[in-house]
Amino acid sequence: MCGIIGFVGNESACSFLLSGLEKLEYRGYDSAGVAIHDGKKINILKAKGKLAELGKKIEAKNLIGNVGIGHMRWATHGKVSEENSHPQSSLNNKIALVHNGIIENYLELKNEFDKNIFVSDTDTEVIAHLIYKYYDWTGILDNFIDAVYFVLKKLKGSYALAIMCEDFKDKIFAVKKDSPLVIGIGENKNFVASDISAFIKYTNEVCYLNDNELAVLDEKNINIFDENKNVLEKKVFSVDKEVNNLGKGNYDSFMLKEIFEQPKVIKNFLIDNSENFLDEINLDEKILDEVERIYLIGCGTAYYACLMGEKILSKLNLFVSAQPASEFRYSDLVLNKKSLVIVVSQSGETADSLAALRIAKKNGAKILSIVNVRESSIARESDFVININAGPEISVASTKAFSLMLSAFYILSCCLYKYFKIISHNEFLDLKNDLKEIPELVEKVLKQHEKIKSVAEKYLLSKNIFYLGRNLDYVIALEGALKLKEIAYLNAQAYPSGELKHGPIALIDESSLIVGIVTQKNIFDKTLGNLEECKARDGKIFVITQYENENSKDAADDIFILPECNQIFIPLLANICLQLFAYYIAKNLGRDIDKPKNLAKSVTVE
């Protein structure tokens, strides 16, 4: 999704802005642009398509100046075009700004102006015209800040903004609401960005802006104000430079690298969280004894992790419900101080998940988040946090984060089963021992990647791809189908296997591929029966199971045998197989695996 970088220092801004934008590329974008103050005026350059196009333009124009802002746009309002890309500006580029988020009342705000002044279809441009209109052009900093706050009060929606004004040749301004912005503090240079990776090469000292805080940055100083223009003291964090500045190593994509990192990151997570897990996350008796309802909320892959959480936590004698965050925020659910809301998010910045968290909090619910980015908004606004510690996940398609989200639910459920006396202490110890085996078992699946590759190569031309499974396997079917859609652009649908003959079976013919996930012993024969029904209609069957017997071999055109594993945990292994399956199909189809079309890594708009 859109990315922001701002630079102010004693060196030429262009190279910092371009290198920042390069680091933000993984978020997904369709155009990019920069604005640079040359000491007299603000110059803007923009280009459609890949960043290299903008690079060429910058080189040709030889933009000079030490203060600038840059942006990569993922179109929301208005098609992909130079006019609609950012920076957006007021008349004569007197005000230039870049924006992440959505201004919901932009059409209404445009009524303050003659329609002819607008050159774009964006929801952003009006902000530049408004600041231009309400700033008195006296060159007095205080007056400019007043004008910005005055305009912000008119905006409805979400924004992270980096702003430049012709009157302040040595400054950039940054302000946010419901969309992240982080400040990078360097030596004789300071940065603002939507994401640390944009400037981590130059500094690892950061501070986070909260909603409605406004930062004024120049080469030497960073001043941060609240809405009443009080100067704020902000905490400065040192983030891990190594972790935030990774390359692909010997892998051809971040996705493949991240798939193969899984044994290590799962092992680290399990080691770090093996003992007194509930104590470590401060989920104490007082809270647990009060809880009547548990909601699990997330988006996309994180939502599927919630569905798995719902299925395994349902053993507790409590109301447990997983909801997509985008639905949760608009539904009339019973939500009060006896509710525990578990918010799951890799980035910790997903707009719907954050909004859902805030609604839950407002209603008195306790918030436990499962996140990968420790300093993210979701983590900061939660009462309790499980940090999955997967390291940066760069590939748009989430892989290792999902496995760790499942691992987090596994540990949490084992502890809650024990706490609520669903299992004995010995059963708890057995489960913990089984959990410890997961990294090694994941390794075993990964070692068979050539086998998965050859199955994938057989099915590149399949139409109507179905992923089927029951209960826990159905969750993996959903995640497997999502992965294939995302990176291979193939239309894959997931169904609970028993649902197929209630309609979708009409689509099955010789061009169909049916991926059956069959890991649960008690329903093994039932799911195989459903796969046989597809086979009888000429569909090709790929079975993923831990049971290799006459029945499974008979049903399958291709079969992948998973290593023996506890019933509750084995779906995680099946998913590793599906990650590789999607990867090899996408690779063979020549897709841009790490940056699939139309997608963004971090969805910071509703």
Could you say whether residue 253 binds ligand M6R (CB under 6 A)? no
Q: How far is the CB of 433 from ligand M6R (least distance, A)?
A: 30
Per residue, what are the HEC states of 213-267?
A: CEEEECCCCEEEECCCCCECCCCCEECCCCCCCCCCCCCCCHHHHHHHCHHHHHH
Determine the interface stretch with ligand M6R among 256-264, 272-280, 344-352, 578-586 (rule: CB under 6 A): 344-352
Could you say whether residue 350 binds ligand M6R (CB under 6 A)? yes
Quickly list H helices, 437-509.
438-447, 449-458, 472-488
Q: How far is the CB of 307 from ligand M6R (least distance, A)?
A: 13
Could you say whether residue 353 binds ligand M6R (CB under 6 A)? yes
Q: Is 90 helix (H, G, I), strand (E, B) or coil?
A: coil
Instruction: Characterise 233 by phi-psi region: left (phi > 0), alpha (psi -120 to 50), beta (else).
Output: beta
Catalytic residue, from 189, 311, 400, 601: name it: 601
Taking residues 390 to 409 in sequence order and writing x for each that binds ligand M6R by CB under 6 A, - otherwise, the string is ------xxx-----------
Could you say whether residue 178 binds ligand M6R (CB under 6 A)? no
Q: What residues are paired with 466 via a beta bridge? A: 493, 514
> Are 576 and 552 a contacting pair, CB within 8 Å?
no
Q: How far is the CB of 518 from ligand M6R (least distance, A)?
A: 24
Q: How far is CA 297 from CA 208, 336, 405, in A?
A: 25, 16, 12
One of 179, 462, 602, 604 touching ligand M6R (CB under 6 A): 602
Task: Indicate the residue whose CB is closest to ligand M6R.
Answer: 300
Per residue, what are the HEC states of 296-345?
A: EEECHHHHHHHHHHHHHHCCCCCEEEEEEHHHHCCCCCCCCCCEEEEEEE
Rounded-to-5 percentages of helix, strand, coil across the chain: 40, 20, 40
157 token code pair: 């929606």
Which residue has 């990294």 as its token pair?
Answer: 439
2 is catalytic: yes
Taking residues 449 to 488 in sequence order and writing x for each that binds ligand M6R by CB under 6 A, - otherwise, the string is -------------------------------------x--
Q: For residues 3 and 9, which CB has a smaller minimum distance to ligand M6R in the complex? A: 3
Q: How far is the CB of 475 from ligand M6R (least distance, A)?
A: 14
Could you say whether residue 387 binds ligand M6R (CB under 6 A)? no
Q: What residues are paired with 45 via a beta bridge? A: 34
Could you say whether residue 341 binds ligand M6R (CB under 6 A)? no
Taking residues 295 to 324 in sequence order and writing x for each that binds ligand M6R by CB under 6 A, - otherwise, the string is ----xxxx----------------------
Q: How far is CA 345 from CA 56, 179, 318, 412, 568, in A?
A: 37, 15, 23, 16, 22
One of 558, 603, 604, 606 touching ligand M6R (CB under 6 A): 603
User: Cα–Cα distance between 55 and 14 in angstroms, integer?
Assistant: 9
Could you say whether residue 527 binds ligand M6R (CB under 6 A)? no
Q: What residues are paired with 34 via a beta bridge? A: 45, 70
Catalytic residue, from 2, 299, 414, 577: name it: 2
544 token code pair: 């993923």
Could you say whether residue 347 binds ligand M6R (CB under 6 A)? yes
The interface with ligand M6R within residues 266-295 (CB under 6 A) comprises none
Q: How far is the CB of 553 from ligand M6R (least distance, A)?
A: 32
Q: For residues 184 and 480, which CB has a smaller minimum distance to ligand M6R in the complex? A: 480
516 token code pair: 């059956």
Counting residues that bind ligand M6R (by CB under 6 A) gives: 15
207 is catalytic: no
**AA identity, residue 47:** A
Active site residues: 2, 601
Binding residues for ligand M6R, rule: CB under 6 A, are 299-302, 345-347, 350, 353, 396-398, 486, 602-603
